[in-house]
Structure formats: C-alpha cells, structure tokens
Amino acid sequence: MELEVPFNESGVDPYGLSRAHLAQSMTLLKLAYRHYFKVEVHGMENVPARGRAMIVGNHSGGFALDAGCVIASTFFEMNPPRLAQGMAEKFIAKFPIAAMWATRAGQLTGLPENAARLLEDDRLLMVFPEGARGTAKLYKERYSLVNFGTGFMRLALRTRSPIVPMAFLGGGEAVPTVFNAVSLGKLLGVPYIPVTPWLFAIPLPVQLDVYYGEPIQFEGDGSEEDDVVNGYVEQVKERIAAMLEVGRRRRKGEA
C-alpha cells in the first residue's frame, strides 16, 4: 500500500516532502536497513497505524543511525507505511543542500511550531529528547541516557498525542566513539566529530535493534507546573531505560 500523504499534483506535500526525493532516499535507506545493519524491530504493533503519535527515543552512536532506523521501520514494516518525521538539528541549516534534501525527504528544519503542526495533521513525529548531547555518547556510555528536555512532553500534552517509547541499540557498537573532537567540529560547522579507534567514524556493519513500547497517553494541556511535567518525562525515560536493559541483555545472550 502507498504512503497516506496528501501530495499535490507536483508530488509535494504541505511541508515540502517530495514524493520523488522520498523514493530516492528510501531506496538507499532500505539497503542499509535490510542488508548492511540487518535491523531487528521489536514491538512494531505498538506504533499506531493511523492518527497522531510521538515516538520518543534515545540516541546511540555518533550519527543519526537511530533516526534512520525509526524512519525505515515505520515505512517498511507497517501496512500502510507511515513516515516518521522529525526536527533536524539546528546546525543542518548551515548546509543548504543537506537542509533542502532533509526537508524534501520529510525531515523538517526550522521552528518547533512545525512539530505541533505535524501532530495536529495526525502525522507521526519522532523526538530524541537527549538532543545533541545524546549523540555525543562515548562507546562506554552507549547504553546510558543523558538528561531529557521537557519540551516534547508539553507538546504531547497540548496536542493530546500518545507517546510511543523507543529504545535503539547498536549505534554505539557501529560507531564506537572514544573521543569527540569538538574543536575540529566547530571548524567544520558541526557540534563535534566522533573519533573511533581507527580515527575515521565509518559505521561498522553491526546488527541494530529497535524496540517500541506500548503507547502512553498523559493527561493535561501543557500548562502544568514544571514538577508535574518533569514527573511525566521521568516516566518516559524510565520506560526507555527498561527497554534498553532488556535489549542489552538479549544482545549479550542473557535473555
């Protein structure tokens, strides 16, 4: 079945998603997803087939392997396919060609208001509340979580969107970062450059895992006190941490 997106006669949707660019991107992504990383997905049935939802997960690895696997899994494993869309990191805007390609492939750059619009249009939004700090984890920190931002929770409350917790494993093994070259990254216009034992951060063909937990619907309208929102965020973080532990044990053959 085809992706349920309102493309116009030119094959472009209201957010700039291009049918042609999406097809090209998915062809390349499928090769990596199916054959290079041999991604295994657990709990795909927990992602709603239709309607608004927010996939909230952890970062792992120095590159956006996590986002790529979420996008690929919802597109290739669901029927009809769904496109998980997210807000690209701000530094992408410094690279016009990359920013244009991201937008045409369905990933938004720019204002957070776009995320609210996506949900109000009953789209599937993916969020990584660890932010850029999460992608900077070293190999020894690959199964850990850094502090979550709270903006995603207020957005979920305002738009009454269920949250689907997601745990991603294997990125730290694919890109075993031992050091982040911050100064070099600044020269190149990015937050940092991950350095591996062989210097170059070329992802290894490591099998990756994606876990989706049962959706959580929080009550509220987004105007709650900080301590209430922080409590909700902690619940999501704990759920993801629990899935990471299950996945870690399975990868080690302990479960």
- pLDDT of 173 reads 95
The model's pLDDT over 2-26, given as tens digits with 9 standing for 90+, comes to 899 999 999 999 999 999 999 999 9
Specify the pLDDT at position 176: 94
pLDDT (0 to 100) of residue 110: 62
Strands 163-169 and 209-212: what pairing?
antiparallel
Residue 255 has pLDDT above 70, yes or no: no
What does the pLDDT average to over 121-145?
93
**C-beta separation of 146 from 130 below 8 A:** yes
CA-wise closest residue to 229 among 158, 163, 154:
154
| Distance of alpha carbon 239 from alpha carbon 118, whole angstroms | 25
Note the pLDDT tens digit of each residue in 62-111. Answer: 778 999 999 999 999 999 999 999 987 776 767 777 778 888 888 887 67
CB-based contacts of 183: which residues, under 8 Å, 6+ apart?
A: none
- How many other C-beta atoms are found inside a 10 Å radius of the C-beta of residue 4? 13
What are the structural domains, with CATH classification, of the chain?
Answer: 19-251 (3.40.1130.10)
Residue 220 scores a pLDDT above 70: yes
168: part of which helix (H) or strand (E)? Answer: strand 163-169
pLDDT value of position 57:
98
Does the pLDDT value for residue 243 go beyond 80?
A: yes
Q: Are residues 66 and 59 in contact, defined by beta-carbon separation less than 8 angstroms?
A: yes
What's the distance, CA 205 to chain centroid? Answer: 20
* The pLDDT value given to residue 96: 74
Please tell me the predicted confidence (pLDDT) of residue 144: 95
Contact by Cβ (8 Å): 208, 71 = no
